[in-house]
Structure 1
Amino acid sequence: MKFIHLTDIHVTEPGASLFGQSPNLTLDRCIDDLNRNHADADLCLITGDLTHNGTVPEYAAARDILDRLKLRKLMLIGNHDQRGPALDGLSELSADEHGFVQQAVPTGAGIFVLMDTKTDDTHSGAYCAARQDWLARVLRDHRDRPVWLFMHHPPFETGMPAMDRIGMNRNDAAAIARLAVGHGNVRHMFFGHFHRPMSGTWNGIPFSSHRSMMLQCALDFETANEVGGIFEEPQYAVVTVTGDMTCIHYHDFDSTAMRQSMGGPEE
């Protein structure tokens, strides 16, 4: 199976800019690149911050842009999104019985579990008891299947204090850990929020994320009271799953770096 991971697309109203840039135009170029080079992918998964302000016009703009993507789309919400307008504006989203934007989707690689880590009125993340119960039920129902977790806020601290201050609630993160480890077959966890390429393992579970469609978060292990930005290139990730192997390639699709042949593979 091959799929695309996108995150933090931050669509604005048409013509608006963020930090002197247009996430909409960047997303347009990203979609052009995906349609040109990865039309064979099974789907594209977007891990939140679908819009910047969560307004109805922004979701309409997101719909117009994303409709150009030739791939099947799955998506979830982030801290910049609003559940009501998001559900009304984007048909790929689905709510559970408590109104949280969560769903479990069967795929050729296993069950893709799309989680809602949004907290109202703050940029921090949470995963309350109702959401934990939903996740426990999903994992129980699919105890014999590989599971892939997708969320906006990761359930751990990264060492970047300014961003960790708006990370996941620690108690809720510990609950996610118990459930994920208890399932025994969570293959990978994908997230967004940090606007940085990042990978590693958490409680034995591999994880990854990458840059956004707008301003990126600078790598800063010292500053706690301000999130520093840096104008690095946007990225998407190409994920291939073959048997027991998962391979993730980060692609700076907007890069202007000059290409140069390094010779044939035998040279």
Structure 2
Amino acid sequence: MMSFLQTGHALYALAAICLAGVFSRLMAGSFYKRLIKESANMALTKNRCLRTLKQNAEDTYRINQGMSNTRVYLERQLYGLRMGGMSVRGMDNLSGQLTLLCFLAGGGAAFLSYWYRSDNYYIVLYGTIGILSGMLTMLVDYGVNLEARRQQLLTCLQDYLENVMWPRMNREGATEHGPAVTAEEERREPAAVRSIARDRRSNNTNSRRSLEQMAASREYGGDKNSKENWLQDLNPEQKRVLGELLKEFIS
């Protein structure tokens, strides 16, 4: 252990942990940046993750006939995004763990140097390197800001789904059901026209029968004054029918 501490191998281990933390954060940030750029044109995107997400969203919307909470659905889908065999969320957690490991490794190396009674130089060296490497990974973390990029990606995807995809699918659904409704209305319209014509003919027939009955009753059972003024007792509909009958008789 003394040779491991005094030959500088512990410094290489601290440097490797620090670089792994920085590299993991940069990879996750680059992945989110690429997704945000591709989400600007989801219709023509070639990104496999976004195409899979879009297809899953369409299938879910059709099966459930809508989607009540798009934000929750997208968050659940982002948890499943994978990068190099590891989920993006897992990569973010790994970066945080490597930051803590830098502090712990530096502090552990400094304690071992003290325990084995090494020079104070090694104690200060490992303690300082551990603190600086941990702060470096934290600085890169704040620069990349994975959480802000994740929220930006969520906003872009939600905007596409709610303002582009859902209205388009609603229009397609209305177009599919439109011809059936029109055909049904066309079938109902002739029936309604026939019903109106049938009712009109029935009203004309009833009015003619009423006129004939009134004329017969005036001719055989009424007095002279009622025979002369029987036209005054007719309603407008009966007068109209009487006029049509006179036109037919004259012609």
TM-score by length of 1: 0.16
TM-score by length of 2: 0.16
Larger Rg over CA atoms = 2
- Bigger share in helix: 2
Highest RCO, 1 vs 2 (Cα 8 Å, sep ≥ 6): 2
- Bigger share in strand: 1
